Structure 1
Amino acid sequence: MNALICGSMAFDTIMVFQDRFRHHILPEKVHMLSVSFLVPEMRREFGGTAGNIAYNLKLLGGEPLIMATVGDDFAPYQIRLESMGIPQTHIRHIPGNFTAQAFITTDLDDNQITAFHPGAMSEAHRNHVADAKSVDIGIIAPDGRDGMVNHAREFKAAGIPFIFDPGQGLPLFNGDELLQFIELADYMAVNDYEAQLLQERTGLSLDALATRVKALVVTRGADGSEIYADGRIINIPSVVPTAVVDPTGCGDAYRAGLIYGIEQHWAWEKTGRLASLLGSLKIACRGPQNHTFDRDSLAAAYQAAFNESLW
């Protein structure tokens, strides 16, 4: 089954601050903030919401189709996608632009400070859902603002069920605009912070928002996640990782699990557990796309975590 993944392709420059931000940011001085963090550890990773989701979905045996816009510096990422067998049919090159770039500083509490340059991502609206054929499900992850708006309408017009995953793009939209997205979407996924912001902007509780989609998923990090579906709240436990190394991309790994479970017509309990496991596997590795697994190792990890068979 083909999953159309609308979102960003980006290079992530990830830096690790060997201390805690709270030791260096004075609450009474935030109005005149000027701080510098020494980051002796730095690396450049392949990232972006669409790239990360596609990576995990491909490992699961899915067929991801990426719809994104990229810049003149995309060649290394292109080679990587080719090596993985991920089609680039709907990745559009925008001359004279950089591919989106995220500069992420993580502290010892896994807090993150990110600076993001959108580059070619701002032209996401130049891609159209109708250009992708034989699509069974889609997701709208953080992308160019106009692209997110257009792709939601296009998914609905094409009759393709999709997940609305506003992520870091949520602050770009007011309450009415967010409600429009939700009316068009079949599913929605947010983290706990985004869930709070969503409620504030729309004026609706999570229970009320959940009645407007088939499922509303709220991830809460180490506290697991909740799936509002079928008039109930399904609590999904977190999976204790082998190590807590880097949270970057954990949400995208989780969303790949959601897509796969929906494609397989699994119950929400099983879908959520797979998604939770993928987040745990990701956090144990540096970078959003350096963890790996195969069908057998994933099944073994799922059995160990939940005492039930995956396949």
Structure 2
Amino acid sequence: MRIAVTGSIATDHLTVFPGRFADQLIPGQLDHVSLSFLVDSLDVRRGGVAANIAFGLGGLGLAPLLVGAVGADFAEYEVWLKENGVDTGAVHVSDERQTARFMCTTDRESNQIASFYTGAMAEAREIDLTGLPVPAAGLDLVLVAPNDPEAMLRHTRQCRELGIPFAADPSQQLARLTGPQVRELVDGARWLFTNEYEAALLRERTGWTREEVCSRVGAWITTLGEHGVLVERAGEPPLTVPAVTGVPVADPTGVGDAFRAGFLAATGWGLSLTTAARLGCVLATLALATVGSQTYVVDPARLLALVAKSYGAEAAEPLAAELGGPS
């Protein structure tokens, strides 16, 4: 299966605050917030939603096509992605702007406060899917992940025009998008990805009920953190897959991206939604246990062992052939 992953490509600047954000917020004063946090560490990592997902797919052997905009400072990052199985032939390089920056502080309860500098990502709207190095007819799925809003809309429209199945992952950009824009991005998607908060925000933005959202997509996948994953489809009972337990928490950044990579890989292999959600959860735990979004290692034997340990030996059987394990 050939997947094009459109969206942000960025450098992550990750810091850790040893306290709780909630302890610094004064009731009745939230309209006059002026806070500064003394952090204990700084990690500069490769990131961006599209690049994170492509990294995970590359590790699973799917050779994804990364589609996004970067600055001239991307050269070293590009080498890294290529070494990890990502096709960067469709990445647009800006002559004027630097690669986007994600700046995030995480407290001791894994709450996060973040800012995102757009940089070269603003030029992603110039990318035409008909001009990719891979013919549109050769793409099995296009993932429309957080990006310049106009780029997200353009790519979604082109998928409809070209008849290419697409997945909608508006996530962090929901706060910037209008109701009509969100409805346009979601309607007709094969897969819709959100977390629990984003699911509520998506319903508020669109004005659609949960049932109406499900009627417009193939399946709505909502990650629930430690409570696992909820998969909803029109006319079908909800499917809940529990999360992997007992995982050391190093850094939550990029965990949802790793889940998406695992889920998309498994569905691309033609496996069930349950199996896809399980692989996504296991891949997410690898990301959760490392600092940075692209520092985990995709080891097929370890993945199969984690699936078997978490969900039972029979759960690993459908994945064994694809991951190179014993059948």
Residue in 1 that maps onto 2:170: 166
1:59 deviates by 1.2
Amino acid aligned to 2:279:
L
C-alpha distance in 2 between matches for 1:227 and 1:40: 38
1:230 deviates by 5.3
1:13 deviates by 0.2
Amino acid aligned to 1:283:
L
Q: Which range moved further: 177-186 or 40-49?
A: 177-186
Deviations 1:46-76 (A, max 9, x none): 0001110011111111121000000122122
Tell me if 1:29 matches 2:29.
yes
Q: Assess if the C-alpha contact under 8 Å between 1:174 and 1:201 holds in 2.
A: yes
| SS state at 1:29 partner | coil
C-alpha distance in 1 between matches for 2:184 and 2:115: 28
| SS state at 2:240 partner | strand
Q: Which range moved further: 200-209 or 163-172?
A: 200-209
Deviations 1:12-64 (A, max 9, x none): 00000011111112132221111110112001000001110011111111121
Deviations 1:114-163 (A, max 9, x none): 01100010111111222232211110000001100000011112221111
C-alpha distance in 1 between matches for 2:186 and 2:279: 24
C-alpha distance in 2 between matches for 1:81 and 1:282: 16
C-alpha distance in 1 between matches for 2:206 and 2:171: 16
**TM-score for both structures, normalised by structure 2:** 0.92
Residue in 2 that maps onto 1:284: 289
Amino acid aligned to 2:49:
T
Tell me if 1:258 matches 2:260.
no
Residue in 2 that maps onto 1:68: 68
C-alpha distance in 2 between matches for 1:277 and 1:16: 24
1:275 deviates by 0.9
Q: Assess if the C-alpha contact under 8 Å between 2:2 and 2:139 holds in 1.
A: yes
Tell me if 1:249 matches 2:254.
yes
Amino acid aligned to 1:261:
A
Q: 1:297 aligns with which of 299, 302, 307?
A: 302
Residue in 2 that maps onto 1:53: 53
Residue in 1 that maps onto 2:91: 91
- Identical aligned residues as a percent: 34
C-alpha distance in 2 between matches for 1:139 and 1:130: 15
Q: CA RMSD in A?
A: 1.3
Q: 1:136 aligns with which of 111, 133, 140?
A: 140
Q: Assess if the C-alpha contact under 8 Å between 2:191 and 2:219 holds in 1.
A: yes
Q: Which range moved further: 210-219 or 175-184?
A: 175-184
Distance 1:230 1:299, change over 3 A: farther
1:237 deviates by 0.6
Equivalence map 1:153-192=2 (5 Å): 153-192=157-196
C-alpha distance in 1 between matches for 2:269 and 2:24: 47
1:198 deviates by 0.8
Amino acid aligned to 1:162:
F
Q: Assess if the C-alpha contact under 8 Å between 2:167 and 2:189 holds in 1.
A: yes
| SS state at 1:37 partner | coil
Which structure has the highest strand share of the two? Answer: 1
Q: Assess if the C-alpha contact under 8 Å between 1:207 and 1:228 holds in 2.
A: no
1:184 deviates by 3.6
C-alpha distance in 2 between matches for 1:207 and 1:230: 7
Q: Assess if the C-alpha contact under 8 Å between 2:63 and 2:85 holds in 1.
A: no
Deviations 1:148-204 (A, max 9, x none): 000001111222111100011112222222112222422211000110011112222
**TM-score for both structures, normalised by structure 1:** 0.97
1:241 deviates by 4.5
Q: Assess if the C-alpha contact under 8 Å between 1:104 and 1:113 holds in 2.
A: yes
Q: Assess if the C-alpha contact under 8 Å between 2:55 and 2:85 holds in 1.
A: no
Return 5+ residue gaps in structure 2 as ranges: 321-327
Residue in 1 that maps onto 2:239: 234
Amino acid aligned to 2:277:
G
Q: 1:271 aligns with which of 270, 276, 279?
A: 276
Amino acid aligned to 1:88:
T
Distance 1:135 1:282, change over 3 A: same
Return 5+ residue gaps in structure 1 as ranges: none
Deviations 1:71-105 (A, max 9, x none): 12212212212322422110010111010001100
